[in-house]
Amino acid sequence: MPTVAELMSALPESAEEAEVKERSPLPEMLQAWSLRPVPVGWFRRMQVLGTLQAKIGAAYLFHWLRGWFKSADENQRHLAETHWRTAFRVLDSMSYLRGATMKVGQTLASFPDIVPREFVETLEQLHFSAPPMHWSLLKEMVFNDLGDDPEKIFASFDKQAFAAASLGQVHRARLTSGEEVAVKIQYPGIGRTIRVDFRNLLMFLLPARLSRDWENAKEQFDDLRMRLERETDYEREAAMLAKVRPLFHEDDGIVVPRIFSDYCTPRILTMERLEGMHLDAFLETNPSQEVRNEFARKMLRAWYRMMYTGRLIYADMHPGNYLFMEDGRLGVIDFGFMLELDDTLWELMRMIDRPLTTGRRDDRIAAMKEWSWISDAPEDRDRLELSEEYADWCWHSRYDGGEFDFADEADFRRGIDLFVEMVRKRYNRSRPCTPVIARQQFGWRSMLYKLKAKIDVAPIAEEEIKATGWDRSEYAQPRSL
């Protein structure tokens, strides 16, 4: 298992940042924080997870902080460090911290090449492992929320969880009407605790807003908070499932589980149980190129369908959320984090359709200027060029035409390098939805990278985009499909 120091050194670092690190007591503090023994209490059970993801969380936060301190002067840095120390003490006392850092771990797992490969493989396990709640506690949760013991509410109910949600766990069960279901149960009170604690934490961080990068940091912080909040809001997830399911039809070969709302509460989510393998298990069966391609096409189609027909961005594209079913269908099972495209975002999606379709540099530049409010001023030139290059990386698999080799490691690396450079130069400051958009971009690319898919993206996109009803006659050539 890598040490914190190893993890930290695996993260990109500039010379300037290294200098800050030497002067700052923060690294030691963070290291100490991440290595501290787990406190007694229910954390004991969490020890089965090991402390790896907590260390990763620490390393990630540390990296984020380093960037933060870069532009601050000595006094500001001192002030900010004091507040960070307080903030970390608070963070440290949060009982679901392991859940939060696990989320960070999952985010990193979507970036296969930003950290060493073996490390990503370990990280991916996190999608499926979480601290268990014992049967007696589950029973009380079901009793309180659904009105009776699980044995009476369900025809059968497995006492052992078969999968873990980051802040709860999933059990197999059968309804009295015969349906096989998956019941996701959340640790009591965790959703509310997160909301309150994050509010408090933000208060501690407020003095740091003097820093130039406050807005950007706050955005990343809000992103993590929003992610955790949404993942703990099972009612919202149930509503989302009910909204997404009708978007798919039998011949799509894409399945979204049915919700059983009589068995759902804010803390309990009961849905149809799909049988299938997760990505790693699927790849171990040595599937042929064509089988992998077919699943990749379905993944893309599902993503486009949600976006263009459902006006939803599936922001949580990690392997734990997909099932590779024996009959070739793709199951999409987790809807904890969806971004709804409001009118503003919808217009932006429409705006970027032109560069996505034409592949012209001028179109990309115009789109990036509008998306990230970049001016024509000379001081913005570098930012614009880098953004344009990043946009090219994001979109070229669609407009290059023909089969695209998603297994191309050099191309994948290029995307990571561009993104890291943008983060380093603080160029990623943009619209609030940008972290989510960037994550799903790396999410789908990394899924297809692992599948080593070779597919033509454009025909799927062109088919799915019809649902928008946009007038694209000015820039889109009719394609023969």
Q: Which residues pair with 438 in a beta bridge?
A: none
Name the minimum Å distance from CB 438 to other proteins: 35
Nearer to other proteins, 139 or 354 (CB): 139
The correct pick among 187, 335, 390, 393 for binding other proteins (CB under 8 A) is: 187
Which residue's CB is nearer to other proteins, number 165 or number 339? 165
In the complex, least distance from residue 100 CB atom to other proteins, rounded to whole angstroms: 16
By rule CB under 8 A, what count of residues binds other proteins? 25
Alpha-carbon torsion, ordered 344, 345, 350, 355, to 10 deg: 120
* Helix (H) or strand (E) run with residue 118 in it: helix 117-125
By CB under 8 A, tell whether 95 contacts other proteins. Answer: yes
- CB-based contacts of 49: which residues, under 8 Å, 6+ apart? 98, 102, 129, 130, 131
Nearer to other proteins, 43 or 221 (CB): 43
Closer residue to other proteins, CB minimum distance, 186 or 428: 186
Alpha carbons 242 and 245: distance in angstroms, whole number: 6
Nearer to other proteins, 48 or 210 (CB): 48
Cα–Cα distance for residue pair 294/313, rounded to 1 Å = 22
Token pair for residue 149? Answer: 């013991």
Minimum CB–partner distance for residue 41 and other proteins (Å): 5
Q: Going by C-beta distance under 8 Å and a sequence separation of 6 or more, which residues neighbour residue 393?
A: 411, 414, 415, 418
Kindly report the backbone phi and psi dihedral angles of residue 74, in degrees, each rounded to the nearest multiple of 5, phi listed first.
-55, -45
Of residues 3-62, those binding other proteins (CB under 8 A): 40-42, 44-45
Contact 99, 167 (CB under 8 A): yes
Residue type, position 213, single letter: D
Q: Taking the complex as a whole, how short is the minimal distance between the CB of residue 152 and other proteins, in angstroms?
A: 14
| Smallest separation, CB 154 to other proteins (Å) | 16
Alpha-carbon span 123 to 121, nearest angstrom: 5
Nearest residue (CB) to other proteins, 40 versus 377: 40
The least distance separating other proteins from the CB of residue 140, rounded to whole angstroms, comes to: 5
State the nearest-atom distance from the C-beta of 33 to other proteins, in Å.
21
Q: How far is the CB of 250 from other proteins (least distance, A)?
A: 39
Residues 444, 155: Cα–Cα separation, whole Å: 38
**Does residue 349 touch other proteins according to CB under 8 A?**
no
**Of the two residues 145 and 222, which places its CB atom closer to other proteins in the complex?**
145
Q: Residue 189, interface with other proteins (CB under 8 A)?
A: yes
Q: Which of 36, 78, 152, 192 binds other proteins (CB under 8 A)?
A: 192
Footprint of other proteins on residues 124-153 (CB under 8 A)?
133-137, 139-141, 143-145
Supply angle C-alpha 369, 475, 310, rounded to 5: 75
| Cα–Cα nearest to 474, from 291, 364, 342, 351 | 351
**Smallest separation, CB 43 to other proteins (Å):** 8
Q: Which stretch binds other proteins (CB under 8 A): 183-191, 312-320, 384-392, 446-454?
A: 183-191
**Of 270 and 440, which has the nearer Cβ to other proteins?**
270
Task: Mark 249-268 with x for binding to other proteins (rule: CB under 8 A) and - for no binding.
Answer: -----------------xx-
Q: Look up tokens 């993590």; give the residue.
A: 224
Q: Which is closer to other proteins, CB of 35 or CB of 196? A: 196
Site for other proteins in 350-379 (CB under 8 A): none
User: What is the per-residue binding string for other proteins in 151-170, x denoting contact by CB under 8 A?
Assistant: --------x-----------
Question: Considering beta carbons, is residue 233 or 363 the nearer one to other proteins?
Answer: 233
Indicate the residue among 199 and 466 with the shorter CB distance to other proteins. 199
In the bound state with other proteins, the residue whose beta carbon lies nearer, of 134 and 249, is 134
Minimal distance, residue 47 CB to other proteins, in Å: 11
Residues 286-345 that bind other proteins (CB under 8 A): none
- Taking residue 209's Cβ as centre, other Cβ atoms within 10 Å add up to 13
Considering only residues 194 to 253 of the shown chain, the ones binding other proteins according to CB under 8 A are none
HEC string of 56-103? HHHHHHHHHHHHHHHCCCHHHHHHHHHHHHHHHHHHHHCCCHHHHHHH
By the 8 A CB rule, do 416 and 117 touch? no
Least Cβ distance, residue 156 to other proteins (angstroms): 15
Closest distance of CB 403 from other proteins, Å: 52
The Cα–Cα gap between 416 and 339 comes to 23
DSSP 408-456: -HHHHHHHHHHHHHHHHTTTT---TTHHHHHHHHHHHHHHHHHHT-EE-
Residue ranges in contact with other proteins by CB under 8 A: 40-42, 44-45, 95, 133-137, 139-141, 143-145, 159, 187-190, 192, 266-267
